[in-house]
Each structure stands twice: as structure tokens, then as C-alpha cells.
Structure 1
Amino acid sequence: MSDDRRSPVAHDSGPGDPARRRFLVGGSLIVSFAIMPRMAAFAQTTTEAGTFTASAPKLPGSLKSTPLLDAWIKVAPDGHVSVFTGKVELGTGIRTALLQVAAEELDLAPDAIELITADTAATPNEGYTAGSHTMADSGTAILNAAAQVRTLLVASAAAQLGVDAAALTTRDGAIIAADGRRVTYGDAVRYANLHQNAQPDAATKPPSSYAVIGHTLPRVDIPGKVTGGASYVQDLRLPGMLHARVVRPPSYGASLVAVDSARVEALPGVIKVVRNGNYLAVVADDEWRAILAMRELELAARWQAGPPLPDPASIHALLMTLPSQEIVVADQGAAVPGSTLRARYTKPYLTHGSIGPSCAVAQLDNGVMSVWTHTQGVYPLRAGIAEMLAMPPEKVRCVHVEGSGCYGHNSADDVAADAALLARELPGRPVRVQLMREQEHLWEPFGPAMTVEASATLDASGTMTDWRYELWSNTHNNRIENAGRLLAAQLLAQPFTPAPPKPIPMPEGGGDRNSIPLYRVPSLHVQHHFVPTMPIRVSAMRSLGAHMNVFAIESFIDELARAAHADPVAFRLKHLDDPRAHDVIRAVVDQFGWQARSARTGGSSPRSHGTGFAFAQYKNLMAYLAVAMEVTVLRDTGELSIERVVAAVDCGQIVNPDGVRNQIEGGILQTTSWTLYEETQFDRQRITSFDWSTYPIMRFSSVPKRVDVLLINRPGLPFLGVGEAAQGPAAAALANAIDDATGVRIRDLPLLGPKGKDALKA
């Protein structure tokens, strides 16, 4: 689509889009429209994506909270079609998939549609892009809204042509009669009212007629990325833009005693040094000058140390002793006598490790604060920034621009707050703030540490009769509920207090996500010890507690299978009633060539081979995934090679097959890095994982040699969401394969950390 067709609020056009530049030169523009009718409030629903009031509870997806059709689909008199979503592109390919959904129901080519994502001046409020909710919530809303818009356009054309609507067809933005007469969508919309609520149970296309959904469409976000085009917020350059760098405290709770800024203020290009309490930053006319000034400002600052951190060697014991909120996740049946196994599993704090340090641009112009940000939630961020700046929310506009690396609550919101604070100091000038690598690593909200204790009882036939599972964890959601959740707001002379941490209720769950096994067990008890005290700053990381819980459950299932002298796959199938679970498992077994066994196939030789298997349904609500791995382990060094991986996924109706494969492959690689290598290091004073040498991630040499992903399509069934399905099963399959190869069961993550390597060498 040519740039002259793009709306000035269409942030998905890319940071370098000429239309956007013209908009910025001309000043700020707020476009607003009513997307929520006045209706009686209904019950609220809380998920990882946020808390929503379902004003139209019978509607599908996000239409429940935003039922107006023209909040999702707009047709201009010239026939230009715009589709709106409150979700954002995080590198998962959702822009492509959502375009396909809209194109299918509107009978348009995907490239004839303008997709506008997450802009508080234009799009529905869909909270956060999180928890694999995009297709289930936004995709479903767009599918149904587009179908109803097409029906309204056809009805308008039928009236104009004087024919029965059933006799008309739609193609390429036109409604066509049997005699060849045509009415364009632009002409039809003149007599159609799209400003009305969607209707429940409205007809959509039968899957048998799909021409776009279910077919691979090349991702629309890839060309710019692979050719070096402006693709990320880090690439955004605006006329008259200034560059800023922040100086973070050396540790949690440290206070700024004094700073001699005179030398810094005299440096070439320095525009302003900003100090507000413990908040310190410098603004310059050039990025390199800003970096040099920041380094000088660091040297000029004197800090008083904050309170000590806990002993990292005893962090898991500490989690189990801190005061906790007790949540009974599941409790059914009574314990049955038998042979009982017990095990404890641990997970360390994890760093998001975004490849590109977080960045944002902000501008205060004519009383409106505009922020270009790679936040996962533009509306919650707007509320937090508005509170921090004491501005009305309608005077703050947050526009999503893709960032280089995310997958959870990293520093994106913090750096957006930095940009807004500094832009307030220099009205009229865009201010760009990018974090340094060490700032991103040291100050982001980390993925929480977790401790799990599991026990289970087998009867004489090797059947599970009792399951007991307890987990200890901090919150997995410290997203922007108030200004106090923003780091900059905590550092001000009049600091904002973070909203208290809260668990995410089941069935979605936070730390307890996927803590209930999908397996049939007559007696079941799951206890979540929710620990509000957070010695380390934490928040959401991809899949939340599912990574650890599935790792622990599926590792323990293998241990139970061995105790029952059963093949691990057969043991799982024996305890699973869900036919869709059986289908993904059998697909992997067949493709992998799984060899049934009741004992380890490896041993204590210096070079050992083994295979591992795992299965889960994400949240017990979304995509089903099974995975098998083959590994080679060198016992003397602890070196591991992943020879091959076979996974099968059922995510309901598939929109873009290649996109689904991308997500499963990427999830397998990411969780492999977490599971084998990653651990946030700290001492009694501060976080010490400040770069890639102190926080190693998987290198290309460790990538699995082959990954095959099998897709099980379910035409017409709901979109289940696939972005986080692989995180837990792939982790457990790795541990199970290592155990099979070596006879060493490693229960503490990372598997190839010092403890794991010592166990392999023993």
C-alpha cells in the first residue's frame, strides 16, 4: 500500500514512514471516537491481558468489551479499509495473521487492508498483548466484526441494486450482481451504518470456503528487518529530536547523596541535566554526546547504598519461609495408600535479555504528551504515565512501535516513562531515550524464581491415585497498574508507591499457571504459596509459571513412569482422557520413531545418547503441544548437543501455518536457552548479570540440529493461541532426555548450571 493511503495514526507503517513524519512536523493530533456504548456494567474478567468489563458478554472474543463494529473495521467512502486491533506485534507475526483473518471475511487481498495496532488515539483497549491471547481475543473479534461488516455492505448494495442480498457476491472490495453490476465497498458504506453493536451468533464463512485463512502468507514485518529498513522503535528518528541517557542507581534502594553536574553541563552538545530525587538523566543534541555525558554523570554522582539482597545460595529456602498468601488451586478426592514418590524442583530468576536495549521517544506538544513505545499495553501505560505526570489520560497518547526483543515485561514501560519525564522538561522537542546494555540487564523486572515440591502415589498396577503439588513464587505480574510500577516514578523526589502485587486468578493463573496436571488422578491437591515480598524486582516473563510447572510436572511424570516400569509415553496416554491430547502425542511418536521403553537407554559412558518426551496444554485451555528430543551428552565436560526435535501442536483453527511453525520453533529455542543456561546472578549488594558474559544465552552452536513441527489443524474450531505453548514441554523433554542418556535426574534449573554439570561429571 502506498504511503499516501496511510492514516497519520497508523503506527504500524514503520518509524520512517513519510506520513508519520508529516504528522509530527505539523504537530500533535488526537483522533478519538466512542468505542464503548453506555451500557450497564457486567461482571469483570481478569486474565494476564488485563481486567475487562464484558458489556456484551454473549459476543465472541474482545467484542465482549468493545462491541461496536466500527471500533474494529472502518470503510472510507473511497473504499479504503482499515482494521484496528489493541494488540501489538512482538515478533510473533500477529500483524500478518490478523490481516489474513480480516481479508478472509471481507473478501479483500491482505495488502488492500491497513492494519492499525495499539494506539490509544485509535484502537480498542485490549489491555496487554500477553498470554497467547491475541488470536483468541482480537483475532476472534476481527473475524466476527469483518463478517458482519461485509453483511451490512451487501445489504446496502442489495438495496441500491434492487436485488436480493443472497444473489450478490463479494470480491476485491466490490459487491457484484449476477448481471455484472457492481457496487464498491466505498459506495455501499455510504448507506450502511457500521456504528452499531455486533450481534451474537452472526454467521461467518464456513472453513471449507477459506481462501486466506489456513494458508501461509509471508510475514509483513519481515522485509524491513532482513534488509535493514526502519523496523523498530530503536530506528525512530523525528525532526528536531534530542537524545537522552539515564543514570540508574547502583543497586536497589540506593539514594543519590550528591551530584556535581557542572562539568557535565559544560560538555559539548549537552542540553540539560535532569535531577529529581534519585532520578538522574542527561539530554544532548547527539546520541554519542549523550552517552559520553551519561558516563561523566555516573562518575559525578555519589550514592548511599540500599538494603542488602538475600543470600543467592539460599533464595529458594527463603521463598519457602517468607509470609505467603495461601491459594488452594485444586482439591479433590482423598489420599489413597500406595507407593509414593517425592521430588523438589527449582527455577532461578531469569532475565528477559532483549537483544536491543529498550527505547522510547516522547514529545510534549500543545499540552499533549505523545509516547512511541514498544510496551505490551498502550492503555495501561498511558494511565501510568498520566498519573506520574499529573496529566489527564486523554492528554497522553501512547503509540506502539515494535521493539527489538520483548517476551514479557521487560524495560519497555520504564524507558517510556523516562522519555515522558524528559520530554516534559523540553516542551516541543522529541526526546529519544535508549537504555545501555547494563541498564537493561540490571534494572528490568526479572522472571521470578520458583520452588516446587511434588509427590504422587502409584497403586499396584502402576496407576496414579494421588497427586500433591506445592509451589512457592513471587508475583508473575507487576505490569503497569499504577504509576508506582514505573521505575522512574519510584525514583522521584516525591516517589510513587507501586501497587501491591496480586496473583492472577485461575484458570489463567500466574505462578500457578499449568500447576494442575491434565492427567486423570482421583485425588488431587495443588497449593500456591503466593509470596508478595520480592527481594528481586520481578514481573511477567513469557508463559509465566507454566515454564516451571510443566517442567516439574512432566519431569515428575517421567520419574513416576520409571517407578511403574512403564514407557513414559504409554504412561501418559494411560492417564489422559482428552482425545486432542492423544492426537498430538501420537503424531510426535509416529514422526519421531519413539521406541517404547521402561528403563533408561543411556548409561555412564563418556558420550551418551538419550531421548525425552513431554506434553502439555498451555493453561489447560489453549494450544496442545507434545515434543520429543534426542540428545548427546559428554559426561566429562557437561556439553550437550540436541540432535533432533519433533513437536506437534493443535491450536484450533490455524490461520498462518508458517507463522505457527515459527512460534513453536522459536519457543523451543528460547526455552532451551532458559532451561540449559540462563540464571540471573546477584550478590548481597546488587544484580551482577550486566552483560552477555555474565548472563550467557544459547549460542548458534548449541541450537538443535533439526526441528520438525507438525501441525494439527482444526477447521472452524476457536483460535487457541500458540505463542507460549512450547515453553514448558520443551524444557521437560530436555531434562527427560538428559536423564535417559546419563541416568542423572537434574531437578534444578538451569540444567547445565554449576550444579547440573557437577552431577553429570559425578
Structure 2
Amino acid sequence: MSAHPPRPGRRRFLAAGGALTLSFALPLRAQPGGALPGSLAEEPWLDAWIRVGADNRVTVFTGKAELGQGIKTALLQVAAQALRIDPGRLILITADTERTPDEGYTAGSHSMQDSGAALRHAAAQVRALLQEKAAARLKVPAASLAQSNSVFRAPDGRRVSFGELVANGQQHVRATATIPPPTPGAPRYSGVTLPRVDIPGKLRGELAYVQDIRMPAMVHGRVLRPPSPSARLLGVDTAAVARMSGVLEVVQDGRFLAVIADEEWRAVKAAKALALAARWEVPALLPAGRDLASVVRALPSQPQQVLARGAPGAPGATLRASYTRPFQLHASLGPSCAIALFEAGRYTVWTHSQGVFPLRAALAELLATPEASIRCIHAEGAGCYGHNGADDVAADAVLLARAFPGLPVRVQWMREDEHGWEPFGPAMVADVAATLDAGGAIVDWNYEVWSQPHATRPGRAGNLLAATHLARPFAPPPPKPIPQPEGGGDRNAIPYYALPNARVTQRFQPQGVFRTSAVRALGAYCNVFAIESFMDELARSAKADPVAFRLRHLADPRAIEVVKLAASKFGWDKYQRGARRGRGFAFARYKNSAAYCAIALEVEVALDTGFVRIVRADAAVDCGEIVSPDGVRNQIEGGVIQSASWTLLEQVRFDASRVQTLDWAGYPILRFKQAPDRVDVHLVDRPGQPFLGTGEAAQGPAAAALANAVMDACGVRVRDLPMDRARMRGFAVKT
């Protein structure tokens, strides 16, 4: 994102809404050269974040989207604490290109760091400015005012509301770098668990997701995909499909084939008929029958050294190992969906994209129309962390809306669309070698990781699936690696341990077997799995306890604290190994800059059946200041469960022509019988410290702790994921 002035379109919308924008004569004092926190640096106007309405209600705006991570609740808590207003009295608007700040993507565990920090700062400044205006209005010192939600009261009982204090004009205030310190005795809305605002409707079966939206006179679209990315359309007879009952339009543009019908089931039947009417040539170009590591290593790569510390060649015993991760899916429980309306020269899109502003730019290029003529409104989707089919289905919807203007067009992907066509999580290979000195300390470290792109999200039309199937296709823009310290394939490839001599190389592969992009945690899942599995292998070689071995190589006191806390809560030193059971441990600081997470867990392994299950897990987390304790626990618990599913079950399978894992039978995910009996999350709260992203902190440590526990339980070191039943039964035969 880049800094920009207020967008005229959003200002016009605010003015039309009948609310009052903030107008103050008393600017806050800024420190010279002070930096604005989070996304406030990109959108520094206070009324972009906080607005007081004519009805005295306060509206909070964020460019971040609710993905099920509870960010709506947490951001309301942040704003409520700074404004000193009950969060139930606030209105929150999320991710709308006509109304909210442009905060790019909701990704990388950045919501609290970016939007939370911006909202806290903006809300505190707004409250301070209002308090100064109230003091001037009531002719009393500002410090003497009492506040009850959006009303200030003087000692003599006179009162003035927020709504009365704002001016009815277009003047707005630029944020400054300083905010007043918190006042003792203020109501506490942050740092406590409040009920999630997004949960009640979901529990009651109310409209909760974009998949649930129904509009008057809405029509339904279905898109027919080619059998494989390289399939060539030889011909299609659309006449019979066009005559089917309820079919309103058959759309063909190159390989992009779709139907529009007056009812959803009629659209489904018409799409099936269209599939029978289409003839394809499907070349056998996929590398079926080869082991994954050789497939990945054979892809052209661009090596880049991301760490070079010390000098190689320290004397000692050197150990080596390789680890792999397969192609994996987001496997959203609700297939992707979008609704688009083309009316009076403007497009409105309801989408569960995680980046409504970048999506708008891509759609504008696709449609050859100005961005100002497109509005993208975020609506929650039924399950995703990362770049699934949400953006692609939005492109489907706008193409069909252009072909059938005047009515909202709903496009719902089918399960085979989602599993077959979403961008996959890249397959990866990690090679690691380390040298131990005579005392068992790591004196040399060398790490290489091979990976396709983890970032091909929209921003350009060529990032949208439908755009690549048109008669005049848009070429996908050349992918680029995400630079450190964020990283993509090399996210968390730099170990967080204090190693005197270390080198890390990323072998970025811009072109690969499939279209790939961001799945939750990106490369951190594989890299932490590899690094923390190898740390256990090194500890065994050094004849050291795995936890003590990690502590020996850690220098950050906060990292040391979470490692000790997880081990203590698990009862690491008192653990008694049972039949078919073992313990495992792993630690990482997500991106080496976000939340610290250490996990100790126990597994149950039956090699004869291949069954592996986490029995219990204890996680310790330090994410800086905690806004919602239960929200943090939910993210870590969910991360452990999702990582267990990836690690034990999930992989994309394909033959020489096409993807085979198009349903839940072919791509199973974790079932209740494999879920842990208990996951306990222990929080280290650090009030006043910066927010540290939490949503992706558990995936890597959970995978490595699981693999380490399997080794402890049955003596089998698994370096290639997933640890599914077929793989584990193979170990039983070997042993």
C-alpha cells in the first residue's frame, strides 16, 4: 500500500449518509518526526477510522475482514477502550471499498498490528479532541469532565454529547504521532473476554455468510471449468442448454463457459448439461508417478541467500536431513461464492475476498472499466485462511453480471470447483545440515528450501482464474518472492536460535506444477516443521533433553519464557511414557517478529493400523498485549487442529492429466475421532507492548511437535508429510 489522500468517492458516501464528520480547531501536539502506528501511516485522517453521527452514534471503520478469527470483536474492544464507550454502542464497518480505509489484504496475522494499532491511536485522539471541545463548550478544565459513553459531564451536572461537539462540514483532522496516556479508572473493555459479535447469528442459522445472501430477483450462475488447466476446448453446442427450462443465458468467451438461470438447481442442471455438450483435449502433462521431492527439486529455481552469518566449516559431527510438504488445499467447508450486480454503469460485488481493494483493481482491469465504477463489499465466507477461490468466483460473478445486467447474479462454486481450481498451498522441500561440537552445541547450520510462490493474490486481472480462460486471456503476472522479514517460501526459514554460523537459502520457483498461493502460515508451516523436527534430531544426537537443548540455544527472554511455560504446564519433566504414546515439543516465533508459541503434546500411535492422534496439547503464547484472551485461545486451538489435519491427512493427488482429490473422500480432513481430547492454551500477557500477530503462530510448532511425539512413541522419524495411515503402515512393515 502507499500513502494517499482521502478518496473522493468515500467522502461523498459519508456526506450522503447524513452523519457529521469531525471538525476540530485544537490539533494534537505531534512529536517531530514521529511515526504513525499501523495502517494509520497510510490513511492518516481520523475520520477514515472514527466517525460521530448526527444521532450521537459512533462508527468505527477498518479495512480488515472478519474471517472467523474474531477480529470484529477485538477491534471493537480496542476502539471502545480508547473512546471509553461500551463496545455494544459502537458500529463497526469492515472492508468496503466505498467506506473503509484501504488496508490491503487481511493476511499474515497483521490485523491487530495494522488495524488494531491504527484504531487505538485514532480513537484516543478523537476522544481527546472531543474532550477539549467539551471543556471549551462547558468552560471547565478538561480534567474535571466525567464521561459516560458518548456524553461528557461537568462537575455541576451540565452535559454535552459527542454528536453536539462535531461540526457539520467536510473538514477533517490529520492524526499526529502522540496520544494522551490512559486515564486510571476508565472502564476496561480491552484485555478481557467479551462475547464474539459474529457468533450469535451463526449459531441461530441467520444470515452469516456470503453463501447465505439472497436478494430480490436474484439469478444464479454456474461456471463450467476445463478438465485440467492445460485442457483445450475443441467445441461446445450451447443450443440445447439455452432451451432448458429456467435458463436465461449461456455465456461463452474462449474456455470460459457458464450458464445463468432463474433458480439455483436449474443452474446446476444446466451446467451439467453444458459439460456433456463440451468436447475437450486433455494433454497428459502432470508429473504423475514421481516422488514429490524429485518433482519439486526439478523445477527451475532462483536461489537467494536470506541469511549469511559467520563462517562455514566449524569442526564437529554433522547431521543432515530432508523434509517435504505436499500440495495442500484450503479445503473451505463452504465452496466459494460471490454476488455481482451491474446496474447504471456500476458494479457492486459482495465477496469474501481477503483483499477487497486489490480485488477491485483486478476486476477493473478484467472489465476494462475504472476502479471508481466498482464497489467490493466484504461478506464473511464459510471457511478460509489464505487465498482460496473467493477472488476467482468474484471474477466469475462480474463477468456474468456484465452479460446479464440489471439483476444480481449469484455464483456458487461446487465442491469439485473448489478442490480442483483454488490456488494450492505449494509443495516444498527443505534440506538442513548442522554441526555439533563436542559439548553438544550447534556450531554450524545450513538450510535450503525449495518452493513455488505463496503470493499470487489479485491486484492484476491475470491473477483471476476466469481471466486466464477468456478468448483473449490475461497472462498471470510473473510471481515474485515475498522479501524478508515477512518471507513466503522462506517464512520462518531463518531459525530463531542463537547460532554463531548459519546460512539460509531460498530457491524460489516462479513456475511450477499448479497455480499456488497463500495457505495459512505460508512457508512457515513447512519450515518450522523441518527446523523443529531437526532440533529434536540434534538433541537426540547430543543426548540432550529436547526442551533443554532448545533453551540452550535461545537468547530471547520472551522465547525462553514461553518454552518453559509450555513444558511446565504439560508436565514435561514428570512425563511417563505409556504404551503407544509419546511426547513431543516445538517452538517458533511466527515470522521471527510476531507471536511466540511453544507447544508440548502427547500422541497415540498404532502403526499396525496407521492411526495417529494427538491426545492432549499444552501451548504457551506471547502475543504482546492481549485484547481478547478467548480470541487468542481460539486461534491457537484452531491452529493446532488445522495443523493436525494438514500433518496427518491432507495432500493433493493427481495423475498425468488432472487433479484427483475433488471431494472429501479423495481429500479427507481431520474428523472428530482424531481430534485431541484437550488443548490448553496458556497466555503471557504484556500490557503496553505492541500487538503481535497470533492467527498463524501455532501451525508450524504443532506439526513439528506431532512429528517429534510420533518419534518418541514408536521410534519412527517421519520427514515427509502427511503422516497418513498408508505412510504409517509402511513404517510398520519396515520395522
Correspondences of 1:468-507 after superposition (within 5 Å): 468-507=446-485
Which deviations, in whole Å up to 9, do the C-alpha atoms of 1:198-221 show, x marking residues without a partner? Answer: 111322426885601001011011
Q: Tell me the residue number matched to 1:615.
A: 587
Q: Tell me the residue number matched to 2:674.
A: 702
> Is 1:356–2:370 an aligned residue pair?
no
In structure 1, distance between residues paired with 2:214 and 2:577: 57
Contact kept? 1:156, 1:192, Cα under 8 Å: no
In structure 2, distance between residues paired with 1:756 and 1:510: 30
Q: Tell me the residue number matched to 1:672.
A: 644
In structure 1, distance between residues paired with 2:20 and 2:396: 29
In structure 2, distance between residues paired with 1:753 and 1:494: 46
Q: Tell me the residue number matched to 1:627.
A: 599
Which deviations, in whole Å up to 9, do the C-alpha atoms of 1:425-468 show, x marking residues without a partner? Answer: 11111000000100110000000000000000110110110110
Correspondences of 1:129-144 after superposition (within 5 Å): 129-144=106-121
In structure 2, distance between residues paired with 1:147 and 1:373: 32
**How far is 1:753 from its partner?**
5.2
Contact kept? 2:190, 2:627, Cα under 8 Å: yes
Q: Tell me the residue number matched to 2:568.
A: 590
Q: Tell me the residue number matched to 2:159.
A: 182
> Is 1:691–2:663 an aligned residue pair?
yes
In structure 1, distance between residues paired with 2:101 and 2:665: 42
Q: Which of 503, 509, 515 matches 1:531?
A: 509
Q: Tell me the residue number matched to 1:649.
A: 621
Q: Tell me the residue number matched to 1:431.
A: 409
**How far is 1:721 from its partner?**
1.4
Structure 1 letter corresponding to 2:566 = V
Q: Tell me the residue number matched to 2:147.
A: 170
**How far is 1:307 from its partner?**
5.7
Which moves more between the two structures, 250-259 or 203-212? 203-212
Q: Tell me the residue number matched to 1:68.
A: 45
In structure 2, distance between residues paired with 1:176 and 1:375: 44
Correspondences of 1:306-385 after superposition (within 5 Å): 306=283, 308-311=285-288, 313-335=290-312, 336-385=314-363
In structure 1, distance between residues paired with 2:293 and 2:223: 33
Q: Tell me the residue number matched to 2:101.
A: 124
> Is 1:201–2:178 an aligned residue pair?
yes
Correspondences of 1:144-163 after superposition (within 5 Å): 144-163=121-140
Q: Tell me the residue number matched to 1:451.
A: 429
Structure 2 letter corresponding to 1:663 = Q
**How far is 1:288 from its partner?**
0.5
Q: Tell me the residue number matched to 1:107.
A: 84
User: Taking structure 1 as reference, are residues 353 and 445 closer, same or farther at Cα in structure 2, changes over 3 Å only?
Assistant: same
**How far is 1:314 from its partner?**
3.2
> Is 1:637–2:593 an aligned residue pair?
no
Contact kept? 2:20, 2:166, Cα under 8 Å: no
Contact kept? 1:252, 1:306, Cα under 8 Å: no
**How far is 1:228 from its partner?**
0.6
Structure 2 letter corresponding to 1:575 = H
> Is 1:755–2:727 an aligned residue pair?
yes
In structure 2, distance between residues paired with 1:75 and 1:33: 6
In structure 1, distance between residues paired with 2:588 and 2:636: 13
User: Taking structure 1 as reference, are residues 226 and 90 closer, same or farther at Cα in structure 2, changes over 3 Å only?
Assistant: same
Which moves more between the two structures, 203-212 or 336-345? 203-212
Contact kept? 1:375, 1:381, Cα under 8 Å: yes
> Is 1:228–2:205 an aligned residue pair?
yes
Correspondences of 1:265-284 after superposition (within 5 Å): 265-284=242-261
> Percent identity between the aligned chains?
56
Contact kept? 2:451, 2:509, Cα under 8 Å: yes
Tell me the SS of whatever aligns to 1:215: coil
User: Taking structure 1 as reference, are residues 107 and 134 closer, same or farther at Cα in structure 2, changes over 3 Å only?
Assistant: same
Structure 1 letter corresponding to 2:601 = M
Q: Which of 679, 697, 705 matches 1:733?
A: 705
Q: Tell me the residue number matched to 1:404.
A: 382
In structure 1, distance between residues paired with 2:517 and 2:183: 41
In structure 2, distance between residues paired with 1:445 and 1:270: 30
In structure 2, distance between residues paired with 1:560 and 1:258: 59
In structure 2, distance between residues paired with 1:339 and 1:564: 10
In structure 2, distance between residues paired with 1:753 and 1:647: 26
Q: Tell me the residue number matched to 2:4.
A: none
Q: Cα RMSD over matched residues? A: 2.1
**How far is 1:171 from its partner?**
2.1
In structure 1, distance between residues paired with 2:715 and 2:292: 28
In structure 1, distance between residues paired with 2:185 and 2:155: 23
Contact kept? 1:156, 1:191, Cα under 8 Å: no
**How far is 1:32 from its partner?**
13
Q: Tell me the residue number matched to 2:495.
A: 517
Contact kept? 1:637, 1:761, Cα under 8 Å: no
> Is 1:58–2:30 an aligned residue pair?
no
Task: Specify every segment of 5 or more residues in structure 1 that has no aligned partner in the other structure, as ranges.
Answer: 1-8, 11-22, 24-28, 36-55
Q: Tell me the residue number matched to 1:14.
A: none
Contact kept? 1:152, 1:192, Cα under 8 Å: no
Q: Tell me the residue number matched to 2:633.
A: 661
Correspondences of 1:388-403 after superposition (within 5 Å): 388-403=366-381
Which deviations, in whole Å up to 9, do the C-alpha atoms of 1:170-198 show, x marking residues without a partner? Answer: 22111122222211010112389971111
Contact kept? 1:548, 1:728, Cα under 8 Å: yes
**How far is 1:158 from its partner?**
0.9
Which deviations, in whole Å up to 9, do the C-alpha atoms of 1:133-160 show, x marking residues without a partner? Answer: 0000000000000000001111111111
Q: Tell me the residue number matched to 2:30.
A: none
> Is 1:248–2:225 an aligned residue pair?
yes
In structure 2, distance between residues paired with 1:138 and 1:231: 23
Which deviations, in whole Å up to 9, do the C-alpha atoms of 1:238-292 show, x marking residues without a partner? Answer: 1110001110000012122211111111111000000000000000000001001
Contact kept? 1:149, 1:194, Cα under 8 Å: no
Which deviations, in whole Å up to 9, do the C-alpha atoms of 1:479-534 show, x marking residues without a partner? Answer: 01310110011100110011111100000000000001111110000000001112
Q: Tell me the residue number matched to 1:580.
A: 558
In structure 2, distance between residues paired with 1:203 and 1:582: 34
Which deviations, in whole Å up to 9, do the C-alpha atoms of 1:533-557 show, x marking residues without a partner? Answer: 1211110000000000000000000
Structure 2 letter corresponding to 1:250 = P
The two structures have a TM-score, normalised by structure 1, of 0.91
**How far is 1:320 from its partner?**
1.6
In structure 2, distance between residues paired with 1:526 and 1:428: 55
User: Taking structure 1 as reference, are residues 740 and 207 closer, same or farther at Cα in structure 2, changes over 3 Å only?
Assistant: farther
In structure 1, distance between residues paired with 2:655 and 2:346: 43
User: Taking structure 1 as reference, are residues 119 and 204 closer, same or farther at Cα in structure 2, changes over 3 Å only?
Assistant: farther
In structure 2, distance between residues paired with 1:341 and 1:435: 48
Contact kept? 2:615, 2:678, Cα under 8 Å: yes
Q: Tell me the residue number matched to 2:29.
A: none
Task: Specify every segment of 5 or more residues in structure 2 that has no aligned partner in the other structure, as ranges.
Answer: 1-8, 23-32
Contact kept? 2:609, 2:725, Cα under 8 Å: no
In structure 1, distance between residues paired with 2:732 and 2:418: 33
In structure 1, distance between residues paired with 2:187 and 2:572: 35
Structure 2 letter corresponding to 1:396 = I
In structure 1, distance between residues paired with 2:143 and 2:634: 40
Contact kept? 1:153, 1:192, Cα under 8 Å: no
**How far is 1:755 from its partner?**
3.0
The two structures have a TM-score, normalised by structure 2, of 0.94
Contact kept? 1:30, 1:121, Cα under 8 Å: no
Which deviations, in whole Å up to 9, do the C-alpha atoms of 1:577-596 show, x marking residues without a partner? Answer: 11111111111111111027
In structure 1, distance between residues paired with 2:34 and 2:225: 45
Contact kept? 2:84, 2:187, Cα under 8 Å: no
Q: Tell me the residue number matched to 1:287.
A: 264
User: Taking structure 1 as reference, are residues 307 and 683 closer, same or farther at Cα in structure 2, changes over 3 Å only?
Assistant: closer
